[in-house]
Chains A and B, each alone.
Chain A
Amino acid sequence: QVQLVQSGAEVKKPGSSVKVSCKASGGTFSSYAISWVRQAPGQGLEWMGGTIPIFGTAKYAQKFQGRVTITADKSTSTAYMELSSLRSEDTAVYYCARDGSSGPLGYWGQGTLVTVSS
């Protein structure tokens, strides 16, 4: 059974950076794409980017290009999302999600609340 466990809530100052982790257990970590999706309070789902660990490269939504970095450590089955130059509009729950054998995002982490406030 695949499980994704994310790091805990964060409170950050505007202009700073945040790094959220997502540790996978069960299944094969490296072969499946891992995406990061965020959800601002009361808003919809927004795909930020993702990576396929076995290939070691990441792809990002245009909106976040230059501000987000997604990496994966195959040795610890952990994915990371780092967002820089934080502003209040980045206050959101950040989810990691992994593709299943059938294709799309079949497994989700519990979410990490990032609050950006001065």
Chain B
Amino acid sequence: DIVMTQSPDSLAVSLGERATINCKSSQSVLYSSNNKNYLAWYQQKPGQPPKLLIYWASTRESGVPDRFSGSGSGTDFTLTISSLQAEDVAVYYCQQYYSTLSITFGQGTRLEIK
């Protein structure tokens, strides 16, 4: 199984500042035939199911604010929130979906306001 490791486990950022979360996979999730990274990011707020933010490592889901961006390729990925808003307080998860019906999540990163 592909192991996903996020860093840091928790993060406190001031309102309006940049937040950066990293995710590393134990093997590449770049599919050479289509040059796509099978990597997604989710946001989960208390009492709610996760919400898909980013897929193919860098494509924003419809309706997601453009302050959220994803980058990286192969085994190293980053989620960036360019200007933190109060409503962004949540736990963020990366997820690989390289193989059909073989999904793994990172352990999560808790984002708080400093």
Asked whether B30 is an interface residue with its Cβ less than 8 Å from the other chain, the reply is: no
Contacts of B102 in A (CB 8 A): 59
Contact A62 B1 (CB under 8 A): yes
Contact A103 B38 (CB under 8 A): yes
B101 contact from A50, A62, A100, A110, Cβ within 8 A: A50
Contact A105 B101 (CB under 8 A): no
Report B14-34 residues with CB < 8 Å from chain A CB.
none
Asked whether B108 is an interface residue with its Cβ less than 8 Å from the other chain, the reply is: yes
Contact B52 A105 (CB under 8 A): yes
Asked whether A95 is an interface residue with its Cβ less than 8 Å from the other chain, the reply is: yes
- Least distance between A70 CB and chain B CB atoms (Å): 10
Contact A44 B107 (CB under 8 A): yes
CA distance A38 to B20 in the complex (A): 26
CA distance A45 to B51 in the complex (A): 12
CA distance A65 to B83 in the complex (A): 43
Report B63-114 residues with CB < 8 Å from chain A CB.
91, 93, 95, 97, 100-108
CA distance A45 to B55 in the complex (A): 17
Asked whether A10 is an interface residue with its Cβ less than 8 Å from the other chain, the reply is: no
CA distance A108 to B105 in the complex (A): 15
A51 nearest in chain B by CB position: B101
A108 contact from B50, B55, B103, B104, Cβ within 8 A: B50
Contact A103 B55 (CB under 8 A): yes
Contact A44 B93 (CB under 8 A): yes
Q: Would you give 6 A-B contacts (Cβ < 8 Å), ordered by A?
A: A35-B101, A44-B108, A45-B42, A46-B105, A47-B105, A50-B103
Residues of B within 8 A of A (CB): 1, 38, 40, 42, 44, 49-52, 55-56, 59, 61, 91, 93, 95, 97, 100-108
Residues of A within 8 A of B (CB): 33, 35, 37, 44-47, 49-52, 58-59, 61-62, 95, 97, 100, 102-106, 108-111
